Amino acid sequence: MRKYENFAAAPLNVRQRYFRIRYAKYFMALSRLYSRITLTFKERKKQKILASTIDEYHKLAVQQKVKGNECTQTLVNMALYFLIAEADIQAVKIDALAHHDPWKRKLSQRIILLTIYEWNMSKASNKNLKSLLTQANVSEELQSKLFAALRILRKAQEKAAKILHVERNAIIAHRDPDALLQISTINSLRSNLVFDVAAEFYEAADGFIRIFPVVLQQAGSIQGLFSYMLNKPNK
């Protein structure tokens, strides 16, 4: 390696490389701080809308439970299930991206990992959903679109679960008895893997988000409610 009489005598590219290496961690910390500030402002409006939407669907879910309409009750439950998981991710997303403490940053990423892993919409649905939709006079076209969107969402969730299986079982849903393995898994957890999986899942969820309100509107219309009552099997 070539030596120079003093720092000033070194070429510009050498001095720039020195500063990058010497102050890399400070630049990274500053970058995270900037990201945290900008993300906080960007996400604040989204979080308010999400909280308001959850509140509205919560009220609607209570109403539907009292009314006893199994079709709209199932649909609203699916929506609320989806929104709760979305709120959990929103609550830790900024920390997962930009928290200055590496442990808290990794913990937030693990929470996102677990939420996506367990985000199985079929748990919130009803095995008789198709017959319930038919009773509520929801068109075959809308039913087809809804079930197609749910299939895409299920496949994305299953893919995410497969990718994140080891991390989920070792460091968040369960605790591996080998503490060294836990530390190794936490340290090797790649944030880009978590966010790539999340991005792919949200892309798959887009179809469901688009078609669901239309299905709910049709099932919850006066015509849909009367149709459900008329077609409801006698017990």
What is the band of 23 on the pLDDT scale with cuts at 50, 70, 90?
very low
- CB-based burial, 102-139: b 16+ in 10 Å, e otherwise: eeebbbbbbbbbbbbbebebeebbbeebeebbbbbbbe
What is the band of 26 on the pLDDT scale with cuts at 50, 70, 90?
very low
Q: Is the pLDDT of residue 36 over 80?
A: no
Q: What's the confidence (pLDDT) of residue 47?
A: 81
Query: What global pTM score does this model have?
Result: 0.77
Q: Is the pLDDT of residue 229 over 50?
A: yes
What token pair was written down for 176?
């591996």
Kindly report the number of other CB atoms within 10 A of residue 63's CB atom.
13
Q: Is the pLDDT of residue 166 over 70?
A: yes
Tens digits of per-residue pLDDT, 120-130? Answer: 888 898 889 99
Q: Which amino acid would we find at residue 105?
A: R
Residues 5, 65: Cα–Cα separation, whole Å: 81
Residues 204, 93: Cα–Cα separation, whole Å: 19
Parse the chain into domains and list their residue ranges. 43-231
Task: Tell me the mean pLDDT in the region 190-209.
Answer: 89
Task: Tell me the mean pLDDT in the region 205-226.
Answer: 83
Distance of CA 133 to the CA centre of its chain: 27
Residues 101, 26: Cα–Cα separation, whole Å: 13
Tens digits of per-residue pLDDT, 49-107? Answer: 889 999 999 998 999 888 888 899 999 999 999 999 999 998 898 888 888 888 999 99
Axis crossing angle, helix 24-67 with helix 12-22, rounded to the nearest 10: 50
Q: What's the confidence (pLDDT) of residue 93?
A: 87
Most confident of the ranges 6-15, 32-41, 158-167: 158-167
CB 71 within 8 A of CB 228: yes
The residues that bridge with 175 in the sheet, in sequence order, are: 171
